[in-house]
Amino acid sequence: MEALKQRILKDGNALNKSVLKVDSFLNHGVDPVLMSEIGTAFKEYFQKHGITKIFTIESSGIAPTVMTALQMGLPMVTLKKQTSKILSGEVYQTTVHSFTKDINYELTLSKKYISKEDKILIIDDFLAYGEAALGAARLVEEAGAEVSGIGIVIEKSFQPGRKLLEDSGYDVCSLARVSRLDEGIIEFVEE
Parse the chain into domains and list their residue ranges: 32-178
Q: What is the CATH number of domain 32-178?
A: 3.40.50.2020
Q: Are 8 and 126 in contact (CB under 8 A)?
A: no
SS (H, E, C) the chain: CHHHHHHHHHHCEECCCCCEECHHHHHCCCCHHHHHHHHHHHHHHHCCCCCCEEEEECCCCHHHHHHHHHHHCCCEEEEECCCCHHHCCCEEEEEEEECCCCEEEEEEEEHHHCCCCCEEEEEEEEECCCHHHHHHHHHHHHCCCEEEEEEEEEEECCCCHHHHHHHCCCCEEEEEEEEEEECCEEEECCC
Per-residue pLDDT tens over the stretch 126-165: 999 999 999 999 999 999 999 999 999 999 999 999 999 9
Please give the Cα distance from 35 to 72 (Å, whole number): 14
Per-residue pLDDT tens over the stretch 40-98: 999 999 999 999 999 999 888 999 999 999 999 999 999 998 766 666 678 999 988 87
